[in-house]
C-alpha cells in the first residue's frame, strides 16, 4: 500500500541542487545548495518542501512515513545521460585482448567491437534481450542512478532496432528505473552494407527514422560521427532527417579523432555532444555558441586503456553546462556506476566534487529535457533520491570503488 506522504529527516547534508531553472554553467556548478541537518517532505511521489529538520518536522502528520537518514548524505538520484544498456552477450574476450596489448580500434577493425555485439543482439529474441537487460537495471539502481538515457544501436536493421527500442520501453514501464530512449541506428555500418554505405544511410533516413518517430519509440537520435563509423556529411543527413521528424539530437563526437562532430552538433542545434576526448578550443567555442551541452564519459577512456580525457576544465571555464555519464556498454565502458564516474571526474579531469555532482544530476536532467522534474531536490520535483552511507557529499567520489547507497527511492518509493 502506498503511503501518501513521506518525510526524510536527519540528513547530515541534504544536497538539494536548488537553483535557477536551467542547466548550471561555470561557477554555478560548484553551488550544490546543501542544507545541513536537512529534511524533506513529499506527497504522492513529489517533493513538497525541503528545509531545516525543525521546519519539516512540523509537517509530519499521523499518516506520514518517516525515514531517518541516520545523519547521512541525501542527494538526488544520479541521471546517467549516455548509456547503451540493451545488448546480448558480453565482450569479456575483448577485455582480455586489450590486457594483452590490442587497442579498442584494432579489435573493432578485425570484426570485433560493436559488430560483435550486433551479431549477438540480432540473434536474441525480444524476451531474451529484456531479461538480459534487467540485470543491468539492478546495477544502475544499486549504484544510485534513477534515470538513464538508453540508446539502441546494436540491431542495425529496421526490425532489430525497433526490437531494441521496444525493450527499452518495456524496461521503463515495468521497472523503477526511468529510461529515456534514443535511436542510434547510425552506430556503425553493418557488414551487409560495407560496400554500399550510402544505401545504409538511405535505410536509416527513409525507413528507420520515420518508423521510429511514427511509433513514438525514441525522443532523441544519435550518430557515431567518427572515422570508420559515419563521416560529417553522412551524420548531417541522418540528424537532419531525425530533426525533421521531431527527434532531438545527441552526437558521439571527437572520441577517437577530431571528427567534425562538435561543429556538426553546434550547426544542427544538438542538445549534447558526447565524448569530446579530442575536442580543443575551436570545438569548445562552437559548442558554446550553440549552447550544446558536453557529455563527458571518463569511464570509457579509462576502460579502453586510454589516457586521453576530455578537457573538462576548459569546458567549465568556457561556461558550458557539462554533463557526466557512464557510457555503459559491453565494449568501451562496461560500468553502470556514476560513483566511479565521479571518482574519475575529480582525479583525471580535475572537476571538483561539487562540479561533478552537478554534472551527474541537474545538468544531465536538463540534457534529457527533464530538468523540470528530476536532477534536484526541490518542491515540485519527483522524489527520486538516494541515501549515501557518508556524512559529506565529497565522499561518494573520494572513497572509491565501493557502493555508498544504502537506500534508493524513485517517485517516493523504496526500490
Ligand atoms: O560510446 N562510441 C561508440 N559507441 C560506444 C561503444 C560501443 C561499443 O563498443 O559497443 C561508445 O563508446
Ligand atoms: Fe556511447
| CB distance 298 to ligand 1 below 6 Å | no
87 lines ligand 1 (CB under 6 A): no
One domain for residues 94 and 19: no
Verify that 308 and 399 share a domain, yes or no. Answer: no
Question: Is residue 222 in contact with ligand 1, taking CB distance under 6 Å?
Answer: no
Q: Could you please report the per-residue DSSP string of 342-362?
A: HHHHHHHS---HHHHHHHHTH
Distance from residue 66's CA to the centre of ligand 1 (Å): 43
According to the model, what pLDDT value does residue 175 have?
85
pTM of the model: 0.97
Q: Does ligand 1 have an atom closer than 6 angstroms to the CB of 84?
A: yes
pLDDT score at 64: 96
Cβ of 152 below 6 Å from ligand 1:
no
**Residue to mutate (ligand 1; options 81, 84, 116, 255; most atoms within 8 A of CB):** 84
Q: How far is CA 384 from CA 44, 82, 236, 254, 331, in A?
A: 12, 19, 36, 33, 30
Question: Does the CB atom of residue 334 touch ligand 1 within 6 A?
Answer: no
Please give all residues whose CB falls under 5 A of ion ligand 2, grouped by chain where several chains appear: 327
Domain that includes residue 320, residue range: 78-367
Cell of 279: 575536442
Q: Kindly give the distance from the C-alpha atom of residue 275 to the centroid of ligand 1, in angstroms, as a whole number.
A: 10
What string of pLDDT tens digits covers the 415 residues of the chain? 455 899 999 999 999 999 999 999 999 999 999 999 999 999 999 999 999 999 999 999 999 999 999 999 999 999 999 999 999 999 999 999 999 999 999 999 898 999 999 999 999 999 999 999 999 999 999 999 999 999 999 999 999 999 999 999 999 999 899 999 999 999 999 999 999 999 999 999 999 999 999 999 999 999 999 998 999 999 999 999 999 999 999 999 999 999 999 999 999 999 999 999 999 999 999 999 999 999 999 999 999 999 999 999 999 999 999 999 999 999 999 999 999 999 999 999 999 999 999 999 999 999 999 999 999 999 999 999 999 999 999 999 999 999 999 999 999 999 9
- Cα 214 from Cα 154, distance rounded (Å): 21
| Closest to 205 (Cα-Cα) out of 190, 191, 192, 223 | 223
CA distance 240 to 79: 27
Q: Are 362 and 382 members of one domain? A: no
**Index of the ligand 1 atom closest to the CA of residue 330:** 10
CATH number at residue 275: 3.20.20.140
- Answer yes or no: do 59 and 120 share one domain: no
Can you give the CATH number for the domain in which 68 is found? 2.30.40.10
Work out which ligand 1 atom sits closest to the CA atom of 104: 9
Give the ligand whose atoms come closest to the C-alpha of residue 151: 2
Residues 216, 351, single domain; the answer is: yes
pLDDT at position 1, please? 46
Phi and psi angles of residue 15, each rounded to the nearest 5 degrees, phi first: -90, 95
**Quick one: pLDDT at residue 246?**
98
Q: How far away, in angstroms, is 346 Cα from ligand 1 center?
A: 23
Distance in Å, CA 251 to ligand 2 centroid:
9
Same domain for 310 and 357, yes or no, is yes
pLDDT at residue number 3: 53
Q: How many angstroms separate the CA atoms of 182 and 166, rounded?
A: 11
117 lines ligand 1 (CB under 6 A): yes
Which H, E and C letters describe 103-166, residue by residue? Answer: CHHHHHHCCCCHHHHHHHHHHCCHHHHHHHHHHHHHHHHHCCEEEEEEECCCCCCHHHHHHHHH
Counting the structural domains of the chain, the total is: 2
Could you identify the atom of ligand 1 that is nearest to the CA of residue 226? 2
Give the Cα separation of 249 and 227 in Å (integer): 20
In this structure, the answer to whether residues 64 and 188 fall within a common structural domain is: no
Same domain for 49 and 13:
yes
- For ligand 1, mutation pick of 276, 333, 334, 335 (most atoms within 8 Å of CB): 333
| CA pair distance 362, 23, nearest whole angstrom | 7
Asked whether the beta carbons of 50 and 377 are under 8 A apart, the reply is yes
pLDDT digits (tens, 9 = 90+) for 42-79: 999 999 999 999 999 999 999 999 999 999 999 999 99
> How far away, in angstroms, is 306 Cα from ligand 1 center?
14
Query: Which residues does 59 contact at the CB level (< 8 Å), separation at least 6?
Result: 5, 7, 41, 48, 49
Is the same domain home to 338 and 258? Answer: yes
Pocket lining: 224 vs ligand 1, CB cutoff 6 Å: yes
Of 332, 333, 336, 341, best ligand 1 pocket probe by most atoms within 8 Å of the beta carbon: 332
Question: Do 148 and 44 belong together in one domain?
Answer: no
Q: 216 and 95 in one domain?
A: yes
CA of residue 84 to ligand 2 center, whole Å: 6
Could you tell me if 219 and 276 lie in one domain? Answer: yes
For ligand 1, atom 12, which residue shows the shortest CA distance? 332
Amino acid at each position: 500500500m502506498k503511503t501518501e506522504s513521506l518525510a526524510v529527516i536527519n540528513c547530515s547534508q541534504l544536497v538539494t541542487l536548488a537553483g535557477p531553472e536551467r542547466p548550471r554553467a561555470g561557477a554555478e556548478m560548484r553551488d550544490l545548495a546543501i542544507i545541513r541537518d536537512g529534511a524533506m517532505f513529499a506527497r504522492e511521489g513529489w517533493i513538497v518542501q525541503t528545509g531545516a529538520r525543525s521546519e519539516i518536522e512540523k509537517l509530519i502528520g499521523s499518516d506520514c512515513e518517516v525515514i531517518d537518514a541516520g545523519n547521512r548524505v541525501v542527494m538526488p538520484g544520479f541521471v546517467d545521460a549516455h548509456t547503451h544498456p540493451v545488448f546480448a552477450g558480453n565482450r569479456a574476450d575483448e577485455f582480455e585482448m586489450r590486457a594483452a596489448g590490442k587497442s579498442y580500434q584494432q579489435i573493432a577493425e578485425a570484426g570485433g567491437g560493436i559488430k560483435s555485439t550486433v551479431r549477438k543482439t540480432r540473434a536474441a529474441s525480444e524476451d531474451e534481450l529484456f531479461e538480459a537487460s534487467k540485470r543491468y537495471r539492478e546495477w544502475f539502481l544499486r549504484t544510485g542512478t534513477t534515470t538513464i538515457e538508453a540508446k539502441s544501436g546494436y540491431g542495425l536493421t529496421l526490425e532489430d532496432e525497433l526490437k531494441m527500442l521496444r525493450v527499452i520501453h518495456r524496461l521503463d514501464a515495468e521497472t523503477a528505473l526511468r529510461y529515456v530512449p534514443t535511436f542510434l541506428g547510425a552506430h556503425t555500418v553493418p557488414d551487409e552494407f560495407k560496400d554500399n554505405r550510402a544505401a545504409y544511410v538511405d535505410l536509416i533516413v527513409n525507413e528507420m527514422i520515420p518508423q521510429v518517430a511514427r511509433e513514438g519509440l525514441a525522443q532523441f537520435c544519435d550518430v557515431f560521427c567518427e572515422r570508420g563509423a559515419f563521416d560529417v556529411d553522412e551524420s548531417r543527413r541522418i540528424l537532419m532527417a531525425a530533426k525533421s521528424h521531431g527527434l532531438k539530437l545527441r552526437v558521439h563526437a571527437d572520441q577517437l579523432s577530431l571528427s567534425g562532430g562538435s561543429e556538426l552538433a553546434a550547426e544542427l542545434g544538438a542538445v549534447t555532444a558526447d565524448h569530446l576526448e579530442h575536442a580543443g578550443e575551436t570545438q569548445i567555442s562552437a559548442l558554446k555558441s550553440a549552447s550544446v551541452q558536453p557529455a563527458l564519459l571518463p569511464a570509457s577512456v579509462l576502460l579502453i586503456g586510454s589516457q586521453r580525457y576530455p578537457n573538462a576544465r576548459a569546458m567549465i571555464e568556457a561556461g558550458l553546462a557539462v554533463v557526466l555519464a557512464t557510457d555503459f556498454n559491453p565494449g568501451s565502458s562496461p560500468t553502470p556506476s556514476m560513483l566511479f564516474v565521479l571518482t574519475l571526474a575529480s582525479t583525471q579531469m580535475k572537476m571538483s566534487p561539487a562540479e561533478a555532482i552537478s554534472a551527474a544530476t541537474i545538468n544531465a536532467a536538463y540534457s534529457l529535457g527533464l530538468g523540470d522534474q528530476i536532477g534536484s531536490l526541490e518542491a515540485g520535483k519527483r522524489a527520486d533520491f538516494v541515501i549515501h552511507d557518508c556524512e559529506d557529499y565529497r565522499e561518494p567520489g573520494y572513497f572509491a570503488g565501493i557502493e555508498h547507497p544504502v537506500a534508493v527511492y524513485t517517485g517516493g518509493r523504496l526500490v
